[in-house]
Structure 1
């Protein structure tokens, strides 16, 4: 009962802010950027209060480091995606190359999400078990309230990491079976299309890494529609 009350309260707050963008823009965002307050707010709260990822990044010029919420990052030009494919295909057979790209995406994203949730700077400890637990995928299919909460929470996480990181835009169909993740404007498809088969192997691994970090179990992602093949978007199905 306590968990359901928490979810309902948090969801009400999220939906209230969505319905009052003027409040976010003209009141909450300026307040959240005040130094005294900003240093005490967690990443997801700042996001819902209208801040962008780049406004939340910290830059350590002395060490040559950049990061957000305790997760260090390195910025690359988007051509790195094409080059990963091109370099690996000169050294590996097609199937092994695709598997290597998938594993790379999986390991990187599982590390990033786990580091963000465990570091205590993205979300308060009381919220983390609501986002990450071993029954989350099944629970969402039977509980529309939890599904809405998860979609909005992960929508904010993906906005900060995926949209504002230049990877494209993610949507989640969490009550579909298997669960589906929709990627619009895939960088992988943009660099590697046109193609006669799905090409987003790196991003399939990223999607699986997201889902596995949240659920705490090894999940797989399979691309069933790809923009490089002429589809309007890339679609991934997630299952065990």
Structure 2
């Protein structure tokens, strides 16, 4: 067994152990994750697996009026801004141009956020980053069951911090499908915009594309196939790698 496989198995074993022992996490690990002088020295994902929530992990800089998580700054008015962007762009652009503009904005925003998180050194230890962000990641998770489970659990935890506890909804990943899919339950973008005859989550589609493209280093195109605004139970996004689009 090579070093990379050993690292993945050890981390996966630790993740699954913690999932099976929630009382241990609640009684001992979570207090440690949030303890003064300890919390500041722990990586974001480690604190999350120890039971800390995104709210507890956030950094608040009162002197600068900033809030962030793991060194990635955020603003709390993001939800309303996306809604206003939809309505403002309606006045200036055609429906097709508006969709593409929101999509590109989502890509650029998420690419920036992921890059900041990975390079900032506070989300995950340096040894973990190459395991989840590299050029062969999508091939590995589809051919190696252990890697698939490890990647899924890592994505679930990051999704919990960013999407669930960030107020965007709840994500589910299916990497076995071809094309791969991401399902967003309780989409805020769909909720803000109301009933529509066509999918409306253009910005979030860009976010998914930006994330997938940044961690893999390749262009990933994302299309929303089902949308809550159209009456679907959830919003479903299909991910297609650029090389497969050409074939």
TM-score by length of 2: 0.95
Alignment of structure 1 residues 48-127 onto 2, 5 Å:
48-76=49-77, 78-127=79-128
Q: CA deviation at 1:81?
A: 2.6
SS in 1 for 2:92: coil
Unaligned residue ranges in structure 1 (runs of 5+): none
Distance 1:67-1:77 versus aligned 2 partners, 3 A rule: closer
Partners of 1:115 and 1:214 lie apart in 2 by 12
Unaligned residue ranges in structure 2 (runs of 5+): 242-247
Q: Which residue of 1 aligns with 2:210?
A: 209
In the alignment of these two chains, the number of paired residues is 240
Partners of 1:86 and 1:150 lie apart in 2 by 37
Partners of 1:94 and 1:50 lie apart in 2 by 43
Partners of 1:93 and 1:56 lie apart in 2 by 41
Q: CA deviation at 1:192?
A: 1.6
Runs of 4+ more than 6 Å apart? none
Q: CA deviation at 1:232?
A: 0.5
Partners of 1:175 and 1:121 lie apart in 2 by 30
TM-score by length of 1: 0.98
Q: CA deviation at 1:193?
A: 2.6
Alignment of structure 1 residues 1-240 onto 2, 5 Å:
1-76=2-77, 78-240=79-241
Partners of 1:115 and 1:154 lie apart in 2 by 17
Q: CA deviation at 1:57?
A: 1.0
Partners of 2:96 and 2:28 lie apart in 1 by 52
SS in 2 for 1:59: strand
Q: Which residue of 1 aligns with 2:245?
A: none
Partners of 2:217 and 2:119 lie apart in 1 by 13
Partners of 1:36 and 1:160 lie apart in 2 by 22
Q: CA deviation at 1:83?
A: 1.4
CA contact (8 A) 1:141 1:176 kept: no
Partners of 2:190 and 2:125 lie apart in 1 by 36
Deviations 1:19-51 (A, max 9, x none): 111011011001111112111100000000111
Q: CA deviation at 1:77?
A: 6.0
Partners of 2:69 and 2:239 lie apart in 1 by 27
